[in-house]
Amino acid sequence: MRKILIRGAQVLGGAPQDVLIDGEVIEAVGSGLSAEGAEVVEAAGQVLLPGLVDLHTHLREPGREDSETVLTGTRAAASGGYTAVFAMANTFPVADTAGVVEQVYRLGKESGYCDVQPIGAVTVGLQGRKLAELGAMHESAAGVTVFSDDGKCVDDAVIMRRALEYVKAFGGVIAQHAQEPRLTEGAQMNEGIVSAELGLGGWPAVAEESIIARDVLLAEHVGSRVHICHLSTAGSVEIVRWAKSRGIAVTAEVTPHHLLLTDELVRTYNPVFKVNPPLRTERDVLALREALADGTIDIVATDHAPHPHEDKDCEWAAAAMGMVGLETALSVVQHTMVETGLLDWAGVADRMSFTPARIGGLAGHGRPVSAGEPANLTLVDSAYRGEVDPAGFASRSRNTPYEGRELPGRVTHTFLRGRATVVDGKLA
Amino acid sequence: MDATHSDPRTQAPARPVLEGPDIARMLTRIAHEIVERAKGADDVVLLGIPTRGVFLARRLAAKLEEITGRAIPVGSLDITMYRDDLRLGPARTLARTEIPGDGIEGRLVLLVDDVLFSGRTIRAALDALGDIGRPRAVQLAVLVDRGHRELPIRADYVGKNLPTSLREAVKVQLTEEDGRDAVLLGVRETAPAGER
Amino acid sequence: MKRHLISAADLTRDDAVLILDTAEEMARVADRPIKKLPALRGRTVCNLFFEDSTRTRISFEAAEKRLSADVINFAAKGSSVSKGESLKDTAQTLEAMGVDAVVIRHGASGAPYRLATSGWIDAPVINAGDGTHQHPTQALLDAFTMRRRLIGPDAGLGQDLSGKRITLVGDVLHSRVARSNVDLLHTLGAEVTLVAPPTLVPVGAEHWPCEVSYDLDSVLPKSDAVMMLRVQRERMNAAFFPTEREYSRRYGLDADRMARMPQHALVMHPGPMVRGMEITAEVADSPRCTAVEQVANGVSIRMAVLYLLLGGNEPAVTNPRTEEK
């Protein structure tokens, strides 16, 4: 079997150690491991993390292959240090049947760059009226356990209640896109000082918070667990904190962009900053960082949302919502959480690998860096500083809000079950 | 409205070549000439070209009134939008065009300016006038003619012919605008492109 | 002045006063036998209207023609525009044709800003109304009307609106006229009060440089000018107010209410007026109502803006301190 010795890496940011990979698993972790018969990766000064897991990725295939495919999306994921991504269901056709989720699952297997775990739709066609065949998707080859109508909110309280109850039978979880639809008709950006000035339709915080409040109460009532997608407001943090203190089985994610960017950027009317939920205020950003640090928010998820150039190179109102994120997520987290002292690298491993894998029920990912575990690893040069250049992205789309912005950190190597998918910062 | 003689780059010290009493005397003489040549000046309309031409026109009108005992219509004619160098700098602030109540139709319009130099201002003034009406005739009175014409234009009434070199700058000062009456001769640093 | 006129907030006090003063000179041209000036001869201006607005379009067109510009009218409406790239395509077409300025009306807030900053086109952009964002020339013509009426055409030269109390009544939420006026009137030193039902005041307006009141009757006696904003009847279907009748009773301007205004105070309306709803016919047709005068002043203001932006090789210079590079 092929052996790789990662020499002198700071495992989870700790003291330098050697990690020996043999085939698909980690054979040993320790000091002064023999390099005999092994390919050596010099990793002095670099941080070794478990392969990152993204619970919220839009791979766009089937249906919008002009913006991303499973192949290009997984290449982007590997570049960003990910070894597994959960693919959202809002494709064309919608991933609301065993057939579609199996197709996505198979495309992921073929790509070889990272594992793809399909998410199934909660309702047929994301229409919010009729439950999709959740059990069939679970029993399919894809083994779906996470269900979401992401992009749309399951706003009907009865449908939401039934979905929460139903998936208990096989340990599934509903990931809610919390957006009260009536309160957000025509919404273009966060409702507040900036929207008032710019004359853009407001997306009020309460439209998110009211759904989260309802859903945690529903989850409590029926004894289910619920996951909140891309939580974006300080008020949502308070509700989740309250729910957790009551023992409600709620988990929540935050996107990298909501940890860094605010609605002030919308003043440029540049649609690259148009996203759902919208960029909020400085106060929200700080509350989200704090919540991620104290565990109120469990994980970072990218909400990687590729769009073709023409869907962003237009006036704000006509532009699509969403940002690509897989290739910049770790840098943004380092910038906003590690360099601010809010989170150490072990914390990053928890929020970006261990916990997302656990929430999604994904075996073989989000495991400790220790002997006998699958060799899903990410090596980060945290001292690196560089401007984001979308031209170098592996993603088919370029709609990043960070173009030209200096961010820290660079993924130098990614290993998927012992095989390098990224070597020296380049896709293998 | 001559950019050159109000050019801040004009080097000090400028030498006064005419003082207040000289200017008053010249205006009096011009007024008499107008009455004489315009046969009593009964259909004359004075139009000063902003800024200093307007003050000179008002002074001339007052002198004409003294001589003829009649009120002489006086107004102003802004030539900014008719300039041929409009596109050679930032958009210029407009000045007031004030045509006396009875208009200029069929009358003798006497344009008044401080310095006659290239003649381009007067060309612009003639164009501006054409959009306002059709005078019987148009004449020109200037305080100083410094030469160097670039167009076939001449003044009908001149306070003083002042031979200058192109390296010199002529600046007219009037009490209404500058706090004193004088004509100054200084040295121009450079002849900026587009100025006459 | 900046190269583009996108928002009333782009204007400094000196910029705004220069525009008003220049408009005063432009207004005099309307009284001449030949209503034409050569200032923009050889310049091509495109009126790019993605939204129907005959009033604004002909006002700009009259202004452009009086300044001797060559005018291209481009009315883009309907389904082709719902796809965003048509703004870019259109802009690039105009750029290729060599237009010297674009006057744009667009239903999407920010479209003129986008046009000016996206690199699609190099020409100066003048915003003729975008979504619920801004309509700077409307605010300028309103300020011009106020200055002429409240101070005087000649006495007003060089003056701003310091100390004048201006009240805007109606659908502030959906009004680009209100946003532009708040910005400009504040810049010009006026005290602005917005009056509307709370449903029609945007969240965030508490940070605007103005007062907000829900009680029209208490504000009227303290107003030098009252500007009525158009309220679309359809708004009541979205529960912004219960009925047209209730809206009129609380926020409409009728003769009784007008009588509570100071004698010198103006009634203004950007048009088109919804008579009976926000303003009674009696008030609309009274000599205190400046609606028709505002239309005439619109041409003068647009001439002034076009001249100051396009008359030279760069915009007019006002205060060098605030000059944009």
Quote the mean pLDDT of chain A: 97
Helix (H) or strand (E) holding B168: strand B168-173
Number of residues in chain B? 196
The pLDDT of residue C323: 40
**Tokens (6 digits) for A426:** 């380049």
Q: Tally Cβ neighbours within 10 Å of residue A385.
A: 12
CB-based contact, B8 to chain C, within 8 Å:
no
Asked if C111 lies within 8 A of A268 by C-beta distance, the reply is no
Residue A311 annotated in active site: no
The pLDDT of residue B106: 93
Q: pLDDT, tens digit, for every residue of A42-57?
A: 999 999 999 999 999 9
For chain A, how many structural domains are there in total? 2
Percent of chain C with pLDDT over 70: 95
DSSP B133-147: ---SEEEEEEEEE--
Mean pLDDT calculated for residue range B167-176: 94
DSSP state of B126: H
Asked if C312 lies within 8 A of B86 by C-beta distance, the reply is yes
Does one domain contain both A36 and A172? no
The pLDDT of residue B39: 81
Mean pLDDT calculated for residue range A263-275: 97
Does one domain contain both A268 and A316? yes
Q: pLDDT, tens digit, for every residue of C253-271?
A: 999 999 999 999 999 999 8
DSSP state of B49: P
Q: Does A368 map to a domain?
A: no
Q: pLDDT, tens digit, for every residue of C8-49?
A: 999 999 999 999 999 999 999 888 888 899 999 999 999 999
Q: Pick C110's closest partner by Cβ from A193, A269, A311.
A: A269
Chains in contact with B via at least 3 Cβ–Cβ pairs below 8 Å: C
- The type of residue at A339 is E
Check: CB of residue B160 under 8 Å from CB of residue B145. Answer: yes
**Tokens (6 digits) for A339:** 């360099």
How far apart CA A402 and CA A389 sit, in angstroms, is 8
- Residues with Cβ within 8 Å of residue A363, at least 6 apart in sequence: none
Domain boundary among A337, A359, A381: A359
In this predicted complex, what is the ipTM?
0.91
Does one domain contain both A255 and A180? yes
Does one domain contain both A245 and A344? yes
C136-293 CATH choice from 3.20.20.10, 3.40.50.970, 3.40.50.1370, 3.90.105.20: 3.40.50.1370
Q: pLDDT, tens digit, for every residue of C188-208?
A: 999 999 999 999 999 999 999
Q: pLDDT, tens digit, for every residue of A306-333?
A: 999 999 999 999 999 999 999 999 999 9
The pLDDT of residue A420: 96
- The type of residue at A337 is M
- Residues with Cβ within 8 Å of residue B16, at least 6 apart in sequence: B182, B183, B184, B185
Does one domain contain both A38 and A82? no
The pLDDT of residue A43: 97
Check: CB of residue B6 under 8 Å from CB of residue B171. Answer: yes
Mean pLDDT calculated for residue range C104-112: 95
Q: Examine the pLDDT at B196 and tell me if it is beyond 50.
A: no
Q: Does A365 map to a domain?
A: no
Q: pLDDT, tens digit, for every residue of A281-303?
A: 999 999 999 999 999 999 999 99
Which of A234, A230, A284, A245 shows the shortest CA–CA distance to A261? A284
Q: Identify the closest residue of chain C to B91 by CA–CA distance.
A: C312
Q: Pick C28's closest partner by Cβ from B91, B97, B127.
A: B97
Does one domain contain both A244 and A166? yes
Domains C8-134+296-317 and C136-293 share a fold: yes
CB proximity under 8 Å: C 93-112 to A: 106-111
3-state secondary structure chain A: CCEEEEEEEEECCCCEEEEEEECCEEEEEECCCCCCCEEEEECCCCEEEECEEEEEECCCCCCCCCCCCHHHHHHHHHHCCEEEEEECCCCCCCCCCHHHHHHHHHHHHHHCCCEEEECECCEHHHCCCCECCHHHHHHCCCCCCEECCCCCCCCCHHHHHHHHHHHHHHCCEEEECCCCCHHHCCCCEECCHHHHHHCCCEECHHHHHHHHHHHHHHHHHHCCCEEECCCCCHHHHHHHHHHHHCCCCEEEEECCHHHCCCHHHHHHCCHHHCCCCCCCCHHHHHHHHHHHHHCCCCEECCCECCCCHHHCCCCHHHCCCCECCCCCHHHHHHHHHHCCCCCCHHHHHHHHHHHHHHHCCCCCCCCCCCCCCECCEEEEEEEEEEEECHHHCCCCCCCCCCECCEEEEEEEEEEECCEEEEECCEEC
Q: Does A32 map to a domain?
A: yes
Q: Which domain holds residue A193?
A: 52-359
Chains in contact with A via at least 3 Cβ–Cβ pairs below 8 Å: C
Asked if B133 lies within 8 A of C38 by C-beta distance, the reply is no
Does one domain contain both A121 and A85? yes
The fold of B20-84+96-164 is Rossmann fold (3.40.50)
Does one domain contain both A13 and A149? no
Does one domain contain both A41 and A57? no
Quote the mean pLDDT of chain B: 90
Asked if C84 lies within 8 A of A192 by C-beta distance, the reply is no
Q: Distance from CA of residue C96 to its chain's centroid?
A: 30
Q: Identify the closest residue of chain C to B92 by CA–CA distance.
A: C316
Q: Can you give the residue ranges of every domain in chain B?
A: 20-84+96-164
Categorize the per-residue pLDDT at C85 as very low, low, confident or very high, splitting at 50, 70 and 90: low
Question: Which one of the listed residues A303, A311, A350, A381 is annotated catalytic?
Answer: A303
Q: Identify the closest residue of chain B to C37 by CA–CA distance.
A: B81
Helix (H) or strand (E) holding B66: helix B52-68
The pLDDT of residue B189: 65
CB proximity under 8 Å: B 98-127 to C: 127
Does one domain contain both A99 and A130? yes
Which of C115, C105, C107, C7 shows the shortest CA–CA distance to C56? C105
Q: pLDDT, tens digit, for every residue of C218-254?
A: 999 999 999 999 888 777 778 899 999 999 999 999 9
Judge if the upstream peptide bond of residue B51 is cis by omega within 30 degrees of 0. yes
Q: Can you give the residue ranges of every domain in chain C?
A: 8-134+296-317, 136-293
Q: Residue A380 belongs to a domain with what CATH number?
A: 2.30.40.10
Mean pLDDT calculated for residue range A59-79: 97
Does one domain contain both A281 and A409? no
How far apart CA C165 and CA C131 sit, in angstroms, is 27
Task: Please name the residue that has the structure tokens 């395509």.
Answer: C89
Touch criterion met for B and C (3+ Cβ pairs within 8 Å): yes
- Angstrom CA distances, B146 to B119, B123, B162, B180, C285, stand at 11, 17, 5, 21, 59
Asked if C312 lies within 8 A of B91 by C-beta distance, the reply is yes
Task: Please name the residue that has the structure tokens 């583009």.
Answer: C4
pTM: 0.92
Q: Does A366 map to a domain?
A: no
Q: Does A367 map to a domain?
A: no
CB-based contact, B3 to chain C, within 8 Å:
no
The pLDDT of residue C77: 65
Instruction: Indicate the range of A132-146, A370-384, B174-188 predicted with least confidence.
Output: B174-188
Instruction: Indicate the range of A12-16, A339-343, C84-88 predicted with least confidence.
Output: C84-88
Instruction: Indicate the range of A26-30, A418-422, C76-80 predicted with least confidence.
Output: C76-80
Instruction: Indicate the range of A234-238, C275-279, C283-287 predicted with least confidence.
Output: C275-279
Mean pLDDT calculated for residue range A214-223: 98
- Preferred mutation among A314, A321, A399 to probe C, highest tally of C CBs within 10 A: A314
Q: In the CATH scheme, what is the homologous superfamily, with its name and number, of domain C8-134+296-317?
A: Aspartate/ornithine carbamoyltransferase (3.40.50.1370)
Categorize the per-residue pLDDT at C108 as very low, low, confident or very high, splitting at 50, 70 and 90: very high
Does one domain contain both A26 and A71? no
The pLDDT of residue B195: 44
